[in-house]
Structure 1
Amino acid sequence: MQKISYEALVSRLDREKRARLEAETLLEKKSLEVYQANQSLAASTAQIDRERTLLSAVFDARPAALILTSSNHDCVRLNPSACGLLGIEVNTVPGASLLDLLTGSAEALKWIEARTGPNPEFDYSTIDGAISNSSGEEIPVRISCSPIGHDDMCLWILIDIRRHLAIEAEKNALEQSLNQAQKMEALGTLASGVAHEINTPIQYVGDNVRFFQEVHAEFSGLLKTYDALKDAAEKHGILEDLAAEVTRHREECDIDFLLEDTPTALEQSLHGLRQVATIVSAIREFSHPGETETTPVDINSVIETTLSVSRNSWKTITEIEKELQPDLPTVMGHAGDLHQVILNLISNAADAINEDKSNDEGLIRISTRAVADDIEILVSDNGSGISDDVKSRIFDPFFTTKDPGKGTGQGLAIVYKIVHVKHGGRITVESTPESGTTFKIRLNKNAEPASLN
């Protein structure tokens, strides 16, 4: 065995010591790197967990229904809104096929199948269709689908549009009501102009009929004088030929008939002309542009005018009974709006009577009276009446019990607004099915109505 010198042994020990120190240094360095890597990994993991939690919270909190599907279109996850919309439990969903989960209208299913077939189409479009829930109820929804760029997964978004469709329906109904109001405003302007034009010739005709009435009275006196003259000539045997000629003409003209019936004809003509004049005056008053300032309003006059204008709408359906207090005080208000209130109540009463097929004797009673500082208006009918569930909603905008196209549900809502909001009054209804209905309006004589602006 070769003998190692002391110097060589010392040198070897030095090398091994340096190598051990280098190894320890490297180990410390690598241990530090591993520790730092672990710290970074832990921080990244925590960040990922936080983001996952945040994304999960956002996914679950969305009001829209969200469905996450795999590459073979199986449901991976649904948020609570989707489960609520479809009426299903969360734990029954994972693994279910999207096409089994979503059933509904043909258009919606066709659109969904185009994005779940062999060559899916993703054009980022949407479709409005109907989806059936677990109870079989069809729910209108807006559907969209987007790939999320991970394992061919897709995110399906279903938005419940029932509220949107209801708002659109209300908007369309409001637009129709506004269009109808504009037409009625134009018609009112036209009616006012026509009434103004008719008024002058009606006055001419009336004046002429009254003239003929006066002339008839004078001619009647003259004819009586001629008759006395003829009778005297015949009695004394003078002017026999002329007296006979007068008698023949009198018989040919049937003077007795003319003298008897002409006054009646003239009186009937004057009565008709007075009616026309009343209607013309009512149309002019009713179609007068709405006032922005309040004025004293004669409620009895408003009722009479409205009845004259609307007579054609109720005369074949019902009779009208009036009990109007003669010395009724005026109220401060807007006459045009109060005309609208009475017209709507009369129309509503006539419709109720018309709907009651068993009622052959329709009757609407209108009365007015002063009660302390209020003016009270009662409009009653013996129509079909109103049930309690309907009575609680009759003043709601767009609520109507009439068939589609026969009512906008605005009439009584307008009445309520005019009475309560614009005039600070009160309107109540008392009704029992099959026993008729009574609307009661109270307007304070001294209240200052709200501005129409």
Structure 2
Amino acid sequence: METAAEGIIVYDESGCIETFNRSACELFGREYVVGVQIQDLFEEQSATHDALFPNCMLTSEDDHPLEVSPEDGMCRAHPIELSARRNGGSSFCAEVAISRCVRNGLVLFTMLVRDLSQRKILESRLNQARKMESVGNLAAGIAHEINTPIQFIGDNLLFLQNAFTDLEALFDAYDSFLQTETSSDTVASNLQQIRQRIESADIPFLKEELPTAIQQSIDGIERVAGIVRAMKEFSSPTADCKALVDLNRSIRNAIKVSQNHYQDVAEIETYLDATLNDVHCNAIQINQCILNLLANACEALQHDDLVHLGKITVRTERTEETARVMVNDNGPGIPESILDRIFEPFFTTKEVGQGMGQGLAFVYSVIVDQHGGQIRVSPTPAGGTSVCLELPLSAPSL
């Protein structure tokens, strides 16, 4: 015990610590804690007591499933994360695995403790790298999407500028006509000049094309403004916390900002439930989840012999207690042999350097771990893949 890398603590059913190895002393910054209550080493939270004192009557369907050995009555709780206290008041994230046994009628708990501080720092850096990768891809796509309307707005403005130059000469001819004497020779000369200017300006053509150019420019400006608004809502810092979120609006924004990634690969159809109420969630995280699912669907539909556009269907649905988001594609589907590995961090079927393997792992972490929801991936009857996210309509108590 004294040479073990993990902290090892043994305590009784009242919480009184009986043994405390050297690694545990270093983790908690204490020299001697025998006789101290185990609860004093952890932050007070709603689930802390149940985690520290696992009950063998729990089943695999409970919050803290146990593995029970019928031979000796020992039961082991699955490792969980708790906020632990160091001596001096600072806290750290600890992974604890607790086993419960009975010896001579005395209930004892053995805890293995591991400091996750460095792992959390690495995870944070990895998440930041993933976010930067997503931001880079989005920025490139949005720049492309904005560039197209900006180009035809510029072309229309150049056309309007040239048209105004011709019209300006015509206006000058009108002014000259109004300011000259009304002798027959002068009038005839000015009228001839006006006719030449009208012919040079091609007035019938301008009457037909000017309204179109102006309307196209207005549509282009609205398109750019829509993309900018969607991106602003999509990545608003004020949304980086749990609040009531319009899922349908988030999906529309995600489709708009990712248009460059799918427009040459797939058509997207949406069937959004108008009765779906606002959902209590983290808007930025959910937006990123939807983006990841759309990106995966697009990648599944990309292949060298692409002749017809693929199809991606996004649906929302309200049940009594949950909101569902379903993303289906008609691609080749996920091989059954890897179906149970797709949520593993760093697992990817892409070539080296083409993917981090964090997309679905991030989705799972957000939906299941942080929002208390569920995620299911399954093949569709017509071929392809169906991903279903379920989020509680109300704030879950995790």
TM range, smaller chain: 0.5 to 0.7
CA distance in 1, matches of 2:306, 2:288: 29
Aligned residue for 2:126?
177
Aligned residue for 1:379?
327
Which stretches in structure 1 are left out of the alignment for 5+ residues?
A: 1-169, 231-237
Match of 2:318 among 351, 355, 370: 370
Match of 1:288 among 228, 236, 247: 236
Change in 2 beyond 3 A, CA 1:437/1:310: same
- 1:330 positional shift: 0.9
Alignment of 1:51-66 (within 5 A): none
Which stretches in structure 2 are left out of the alignment for 5+ residues?
A: 1-118, 179-185
Bigger helix share: 1
CA distance in 2, matches of 1:445, 1:396: 27
- 1:280 positional shift: 1.2
- 1:308 positional shift: 1.8
Letter in 2 for 1:331: V
Alignment of 1:417-436 (within 5 A): 417-431=365-379, 435-436=383-384
CA distance in 2, matches of 1:434, 1:399: 26
Change in 2 beyond 3 A, CA 1:341/1:359: farther
Cα offsets for 1:183-210 (capped at 9, x unmatched)? 358869x97xx99xx9xxx9xx99xx9x
CA distance in 2, matches of 1:399, 1:240: 84
Instruction: Report the 3-state secondary structure (helix = DSSP H, G, I; strand = E; otherwise coil) of the residue aligned with 2:350.
Output: coil
Alignment of 1:341-352 (within 5 A): 341-352=289-300
Match of 2:277 among 322, 329, 345: 329
CA distance in 2, matches of 1:282, 1:449: 31
8 Å CA contact retained: 1:349, 1:380: yes
1:405 is aligned to 2:340:
no
Alignment of 1:307-326 (within 5 A): 307-326=255-274
1:339 is aligned to 2:287:
yes
Identity of aligned residues (%): 37
CA distance in 2, matches of 1:339, 1:292: 11
- 1:179 positional shift: 5.7
- 1:355 positional shift: 4.3
Alignment of 1:196-215 (within 5 A): none
Aligned alpha-carbon RMSD (Å): 4.1
Change in 2 beyond 3 A, CA 1:437/1:357: farther
Alignment of 1:145-164 (within 5 A): none
Cα offsets for 1:283-339 (capped at 9, x unmatched)? 222233375642111111111111122122222211211222334321111100010
1:257 is aligned to 2:211:
no
8 Å CA contact retained: 1:387, 1:433: no
4+ residue segments displaced more than 4 Å: 173-176, 184-188, 238-241, 355-359
Aligned residue for 2:254?
306
8 Å CA contact retained: 2:378, 2:386: yes
Alignment of 1:29-44 (within 5 A): none
- 1:255 positional shift: 0.9
8 Å CA contact retained: 1:333, 1:448: no
- 1:443 positional shift: 1.7
- 1:382 positional shift: 0.9
Change in 2 beyond 3 A, CA 1:324/1:182: closer
8 Å CA contact retained: 1:386, 1:432: no
- TM-score, normalised with respect to structure 2: 0.54
CA distance in 1, matches of 2:332, 2:395: 35
CA distance in 2, matches of 1:355, 1:326: 35
Instruction: Report the 3-state secondary structure (helix = DSSP H, G, I; strand = E; otherwise coil) of the residue aligned with 2:326.
Output: strand
Cα offsets for 1:201-248 (capped at 9, x unmatched)? x9xx99xx9xx9xxx9xx9xxx9xx9xxx9xxxxxxx95444433322
CA distance in 2, matches of 1:274, 1:357: 35
Instruction: Report the 3-state secondary structure (helix = DSSP H, G, I; strand = E; otherwise coil) of the residue aligned with 1:389.
Output: helix
- 1:176 positional shift: 7.8
Instruction: Report the 3-state secondary structure (helix = DSSP H, G, I; strand = E; otherwise coil) of the residue aligned with 2:302.
Output: helix
Letter in 1 for 2:245: V
CA distance in 2, matches of 1:304, 1:401: 29
Alignment of 1:52-201 (within 5 A): 177-178=126-127, 180-181=129-130, 183-184=132-133
8 Å CA contact retained: 1:355, 1:384: no
CA distance in 2, matches of 1:371, 1:182: 32
Instruction: Report the 3-state secondary structure (helix = DSSP H, G, I; strand = E; otherwise coil) of the residue aligned with 1:392.
Output: helix
CA distance in 1, matches of 2:263, 2:131: 27
- 1:357 positional shift: 4.6
CA distance in 2, matches of 1:449, 1:271: 46
Instruction: Report the 3-state secondary structure (helix = DSSP H, G, I; strand = E; otherwise coil) of the residue aligned with 2:342.
Output: coil
CA distance in 1, matches of 2:123, 2:305: 31
Bigger strand share: 2
Match of 1:278 among 213, 226, 244: 226
1:244 is aligned to 2:189:
no
- Highest CA radius of gyration, 1 or 2? 1
1:415 is aligned to 2:363:
yes
CA distance in 2, matches of 1:303, 1:324: 9
The number of equivalent residue pairs is 250
Instruction: Report the 3-state secondary structure (helix = DSSP H, G, I; strand = E; otherwise coil) of the residue aligned with 1:252.
Output: helix
CA distance in 1, matches of 2:294, 2:210: 39
Change in 2 beyond 3 A, CA 1:293/1:358: closer
Cα offsets for 1:113-135 (capped at 9, x unmatched)? xxxxxxxxxxxxxxxxxxxxxxx
- TM-score, normalised with respect to structure 1: 0.48
